[in-house]
Amino acid sequence: MGVIDLNADLGETVEGVPTADDEALFAVVSSANVACGGHAGDAASMAASVERAARFAVAIGAHPSYPDLAGFGRRKIAMSAAELRSTITEQLAALARAGADIRYVKPHGALYHAVMTDADHADAIAAAVADLAAQLGRDVPVLGMPGVIAVAVESMGLSFVPEAFLDRGYRGDGTLVPRGEPGALETDAATVSARAVRFVREGIVETVEGTAIELGAASLCVHGDSPESVALARAVRAALDADGVEVRAPW
């Protein structure tokens, strides 16, 4: 029997309007990356996420971003490391004030990709998370794709947990196909669910070039803000359950 974490980006309310069916998604995931005001989310949506997480026994992770409500956090913002550390600290605190027991942190959007190569911004994220870990008196892992962020996090004495995406296209070098390019998004439930099972069993994912690459990951992500998100997540969970894979948060 295999074991894997299944996560989704949730609580992404924009101007009071949810971008996903959070109720349906909380029912099938084991970890929820909760927006905490940088790109989406507000006090009400964070409180709702905390309530759902308790009801469905789902682990809560903070999902901070560049301060970019207008761009949904998908634009890299020019900020000093000190400025970024400050805004991330504020976002983590906002989620904590909503009653969240923050078990891990996963950067969102442009920040997620930036910290794979931008050492200054990776260090800023790591420092903000290390501050939270010190307050809580325990490890607060960072979830993401490998890069300089892993080095920054581990240098702070924190854990880095790699993840893989089920509904995004991969290139042969292990990077994601940029949004807007052909093959960037996968919307077929059968394909996505088969990819999940194959990943758990073999540790590989097929690329847009038709090759297979190895990815070491302890968590699989299905994005919550796509129209197909609920169908995809349910199909993935059903396929994993049918294959005897235990879906469980590692935090």
Neighbours of 126 (CB within 10 A): 27
pLDDT at 148: 98
Asked whether the beta carbons of 9 and 33 are under 8 A apart, the reply is yes
Residue 229: its H or E element: helix 229-242
- Cα 119 to its chain centre, rounded Å, is 20
User: Alpha carbon 17 to chain centroid distance?
Assistant: 20
C-beta separation of 102 from 63 below 8 A: no
Q: Give the chain's end-to-end CA distance (angstroms, integer).
A: 19
Q: Per-residue pLDDT tens for 39-57?
A: 999 999 999 999 999 999 9
Nearest to 12 by CA among 62, 56, 81: 62
pLDDT at 22: 97
What does the alpha-carbon distance between residue 18 and residue 62 come to, in Å, rounded to a whole number? 17
Residue appearing with tokens 């879906």: 247
Q: Provide the number of structural domains found in the chain.
A: 1
Q: What's the whole-model pTM score? A: 0.96
pLDDT value for 1: 65
Mean pLDDT by 10 residues, the chain (251 residues): 94 95 97 98 98 98 98 96 98 98 98 97 98 98 97 98 96 92 94 96 94 95 87 97 97 96
H-helix or E-strand containing 9? Answer: strand 3-10
* Residue 38 to residue 26: CA distance in whole angstroms: 21
Q: Average pLDDT, whole number, for the chain? A: 96
pLDDT confidence of residue 225: 78
pLDDT of residue 134: 98
pLDDT at 207: 95
Residues 9 and 163: their CA atoms lie apart, in Å, by: 13
Residue type, 86: S
CATH classification at residue 20: 3.20.20.370
Looking at residue 229, its pLDDT comes to 93
Could you tell me the residue range of the domain that residue 158 belongs to?
3-247
* pLDDT score for 224: 81
